[in-house]
Structure 1
Amino acid sequence: MNLMMTYLMDRRFLWLLLIVNILGTVYGYYWYIPQLDVTPLIFVPFVPDSPTASLFFVFALIAFLRYKNYPLIEALALITLIKYGVWAVVMNILTLQVTGYLPWQGYMLIASHGAMAIQGILYAKYYRFKLWHVLAAGVWTLHNDVIDYVFMQYPKYPGLELYVREIGYFTFWLSILSIGVAVYVYQKSKRERE
């Protein structure tokens, strides 16, 4: 385990991870362009969920490379990487089940979003957020759910429109679970510091 932790904070590995996450973030915002073209301006910051999650992690990685911590960004990264990582994996698998078909991009999204959730958790040991950072990040995350499922700005997946209420319900509880993970990380790091 210590060997893995050594690799996680190795500067060469951090640079590689930073480049990969920047490329993934750019692709993610590109993926959202068709939806953003028809999104009212007031909702635009809340629509591209996954690339914004990876953007938070990009800033956390930059902080690590500078031997710093950005606690609010780290809380946002942890919660949203888990939430949207798991969410996209589930939605793509659900798309395959409902439609019987998933394009190659769907399989790529399963792999990349699964990696998002994993990297959020793997770096949790290095986050230095406080409880108020988790609460602020939690408000952002739940507010995003309201934008997605009350104002209907959720990511569009072909064949899943009939299940939007169920998806919204699942998304809410996934947010709660992700916030719960961040609270656990905070409590664990607090105990280790005492």
Structure 2
Amino acid sequence: MTTSADHGTDPTRHPELLAWLHGRRQAFDQWAQQTGADRLDFSPDSLDELEDLLRETFQSDEELRAQRLDPFVQGAVWYLGEVICRAKGMVWKFERDVDAADTAAMPPLFGTEAPPGVLDTPCVSFPEDGPERGLYPLNVLCRTLIAKDELGEPVDEHLVDALADDYLDDDFDEGEDDGEE
């Protein structure tokens, strides 16, 4: 696997990321007004209001992923990421998992031709960490809408949980093989 870092691109300065962040900042006031939310002030407490909006708008994580290009979802992804960055000292990053021979064919950030996965979305992480240790706000939004896990056990996740000190560790540990030392 090669990444944009392998090609000399700083994942915090990726041109598509910078353009997306600029666009989201410019659209924030209008987005916030259109949501009807009273208090989107970038505080951790405001995530409860965003979560309420999310649950009113979408019935499932699949529905949310299918509409990831919708202005409401784009605004929610950016807003959640901004709250996390401000509260935790993280930064935005965009680094695709790319094949060096096929970098020109990669879809753009949030591209319509890309499958609705994480590789076409930005993440937030600590400056020293790579994207594999990042939080993908789109995934955090989706996880909030999951009612049961793979075993049918109830899931009770909230957006504010992403601010917990161990949230990244819990998420990272889930992907590790228990048999490895």
TM-score (norm 2): 0.33
Higher helix share: 1
TM-score (norm 1): 0.31
